[in-house]
Structure 1
Amino acid sequence: MTVSSVLVVGGGIAGVSTVAELRKNGYAGELTLISADALPYDRPPLSKEYLAGGRDLESIVLQPKQWYADQEISLVGGAAAVAIRPAAGEVELADGRVLTADKIVLATGGRAVLPAVAQVRRDVSVGLPVSNGQNRPVVPDRSPIHVLREVADADRLRTQLVPGARLLIVGAGLIGAEVASTARGLGAEVVLVDPLSPPLAAAVGIEAARWLHGLHAAHGVEALTTTVETVLETSTGVAVQLKGEPDSREFDAVLLAVGLVPETGLAEAAGLETSRGILVDAGQVTSHPSVLAVGDCARLRDHHRAEHWEAAQLDGARATATILETEPPPVTAPWWWSDRYGLHVEGVGEMRSPDAEHQTVVRGTLGEPPFSVFTLRGEQVIGAVAVDDPAAAKTARRLIDRGVDVRPADLADPTQNLRTLLRR
């Protein structure tokens, strides 16, 4: 069928990438983007430059306001979708408006996870609870309990990151580590807790994970392998009991950085199939042929859900190819990046610990940037992590995508130009 109208629900990178790709690839029909924010913005800076005060909201928008007008995209900002009706091609907004389209693309993203510890006990003199019992943050403006997903979250947290402030970060993944770095730069005293030792080993390999986690202590962060047992919010801050410690600790603020939950409510209410995300096929189509899903809310059947920035962007390109009935973009190794303590880290593919099938190769000296760590299966690279070495990450991705055979000695030799390996 000819698609004459497309409606995208969600203004993150996945939603904006979808409308951008549609116009870029010649789609001339009606195109509407519904965004909870007045102007969609980029999220990675929220734990780094924006949180530190080095960038403002205007500098992190994904596209300036005029771009939507120039591209003839109807941006419905500051709006929330409350229902979709796939058979009728309808999206109902909170203000009662009903919009229609031939295709609906759900780009609803995710919300911050509230672990059990978020159900805090509170001093009777303190106001509202921080959870409404539905795993959705309900945090009063002056509450010392924080999550970090939206600009408003970063704005609230920044007010408490003053010199000498005591911050507890629960979760030492990418967001927790980035906030620890930012908070130290602002002069806060930081304690970082995570039950894994070391965190991120699955993403970067055990050797690089140990070194990366060790950066926290080197920069004055107290990094502990433990969990939080109880939290008591008082009139002066937060009393936290850490497992294995005899006494509770006092903090001025607590950040819960333990992941996100995909926003599947609209899909579930509409009868779409969900399981740890909105289930989609390789073309991003859900269980209803008129509805697609992209980004953090979507999960390809029989695969893990991807949560990285570029993965959401590529979802938009695949959805565009489906709608326009054109060739989808080629499958490529997953790629992500992170920044902490002035270092830039990139990862591609899949890292594995050495075993009968896999070996680890270090290029340069581990712990002395720039360096890179590769995982090989036989003579093929399947994953790499690079610290201050973006060229190595870029080349590793090409090696993975092309299935090029390499010699471990060539990878390990810092005088060897990695790009020459692509010609073999």
Structure 2
Amino acid sequence: MSVGSAGGVPDRIVVVGAGVAGIAAVEQFRSLGHSGKITLIDAGEQPYDRPPLSKAFLLGEVGVEQIRLVPETWFDDNDVELRARRSAVRLRPAEGLVELDDGSHVPADAVLLATGGIARRLPVLGGDLPGVRVLRTVDDARALREALVPGARAVVIGGGLIGAEVASSAVALGCEVTLVEPVVPPLEPAVGTEIATLLHRQHTQAGIRLVTDTVARIEEGPGHLLIVTGAGQEFAADVVVTGIGMTVPGDLAHGAGLDTADGVIVDRLHRTSHPAVFAAGDTARVRRPDGTLRRREHWQAARQDGRTAAAAMLGQPLPATDPDWFWSDRHGVHVEGVGDLRTGGRRVLRGAPDSLPLAVFDLADDGRLLGAAAVDDPRAIAAARRLISAGASPDPDLLADTSVNPRAWLRR
């Protein structure tokens, strides 16, 4: 496998994984004028958007067709060969081939790995029992939706984004919900103490039982599962869902001799240790200038990674990058975060800690806005994203003044 034809530009590109990063990369290839062959390989039935799985899809408000990442015509429109329901099982860089699970081979001058991650299983006795579910794929969501019937005793382990959203959906579906989370409040590094506390309190207000503990083991009982916590509490469950993060399978990358460490190690161009193999999205860990490795596990980052990797593979200037941004919906409120709220800088609140809407901002010692989070205040986050990107130093009094339209921050 070599990076390509004349001028070092690959003619035949294979993208493994049709999630947000993979689709974004293909869009970028074509928008930058690449006219060669693009093959997209994915184990699923179609590319779909993952965030709705724990919310609208789980609630039955939308179906698979409504969460498509791209319409069916997109592949023909962009001259992309989709190999659906197929998995890449081996990269053969020296031969310029990608081997699939059906024994076929796809020629490639360059490969982008965008295979994403898998849900982390609970590492305790009984954590792998059949009734202990995760939520990562459409099939996971379908199976979970069938189990979350009115009156079912649902135990959600993990109070992060996925766990909180599943707990919210389960209550809405009429389940009796218990949320087990050892850290109170969860999400504090992502949204700050004030918003994390408000969000965690909403679980109780929605009727969810909160258990501040770890899970020691899970046992099978007659027609139910028994959860045993580290402190010795016991309670029965008809369905158990774990939301404790993700991990990245490394067989494909490791078999190709790529450098890995809970993911594929890449440089700022998203190039792996092989010059013709790149990685983007959840599967990639970028080596930063100080040598540390970082993975950004959210939708916007995956899209940005895919676009960056595609530009680098074609030898084109890298697209501009935006600050990290994520969102979540639970209990009827909308949560957003942008930038970095873990800096220990000056904290500014917009609103009261015990009411909505509420936004928080972190400022550096020199006044620059570093991060922001908000509940039901999307205009504040939209303005904050622009301020962070510009390296701006907004007036803290204006940030805190709820009578000021956030657009006014941009004019200062």
Contact 2:120 2:247 (8 Å CA) reproduced: yes
Quote the residue 1:102 is aligned against: 109
Taking the TM superposition and a 5 Å limit, the aligned residue runs for 1:29-108 are: 29-108=36-115
Q: Which runs of 5+ in 2 are unaligned?
A: 1-7
Deviates more, 1:71-80 or 1:14-23: 14-23
Q: Which runs of 5+ in 1 are unaligned?
A: 122-128, 131-142
Taking the TM superposition and a 5 Å limit, the aligned residue runs for 1:384-403 are: 384-403=372-391
Give 2:170's match in structure 1, choosing from 169, 183, 191: 183
Quote the residue 2:136 is aligned against: 149
Distance in 2 separating the partners of 1:92 and 1:305: 27
**Which AA in structure 2 matches 1:254?**
V
Taking the TM superposition and a 5 Å limit, the aligned residue runs for 1:198-213 are: 198-213=185-200
Quote the residue 1:11 is aligned against: 18
The Cα of 1:353 is off from its aligned counterpart by 7.2
Give 1:369's match in structure 2, choosing from 332, 339, 356: 356
Deviation string for 1:23-47 (max 9, x for gaps)?
1221111001001012111111110
Contact 1:335 1:346 (8 Å CA) reproduced: yes
The Cα of 1:405 is off from its aligned counterpart by 1.5
Distance in 1 separating the partners of 2:374 and 2:94: 47
Quote the residue 2:406 is aligned against: 418
**Which AA in structure 1 matches 2:402?**
P
The Cα of 1:235 is off from its aligned counterpart by 4.1
Query: Percent identity over the alignment?
Result: 44
Taking the TM superposition and a 5 Å limit, the aligned residue runs for 1:319-398 are: 319-352=309-342, 358-378=345-365, 379-398=367-386
Distance in 2 separating the partners of 1:304 and 1:214: 31
**Which AA in structure 1 matches 2:307?**
A
Query: When the two structures are superposed, what TM-score results if normalisation uses the length of structure 1?
Result: 0.92
Distance in 1 separating the partners of 2:253 and 2:266: 12
**Which AA in structure 1 matches 2:328?**
S
Quote the residue 1:167 is aligned against: 154
Quote the residue 1:277 is aligned against: 263
Distance in 1 separating the partners of 2:171 and 2:354: 21
Quote the residue 1:300 is aligned against: 286
Distance in 2 separating the partners of 1:168 and 1:404: 44
SS at match of 1:288: coil
Contact 1:231 1:241 (8 Å CA) reproduced: yes
Deviation string for 1:250-303 (max 9, x for gaps)?
110110110000232211111100112101111111000000001000010124
The Cα of 1:404 is off from its aligned counterpart by 1.1
Contact 1:285 1:291 (8 Å CA) reproduced: yes
The Cα of 1:3 is off from its aligned counterpart by 1.6
Quote the residue 1:140 is aligned against: none
Contact 1:89 1:104 (8 Å CA) reproduced: no
Deviation string for 1:206-249 (max 9, x for gaps)?
11111111110000001121011111123401011122245x21
2:269 pairs with 1:262: no
Contact 1:263 1:277 (8 Å CA) reproduced: yes
| Number of equivalenced pairs | 400
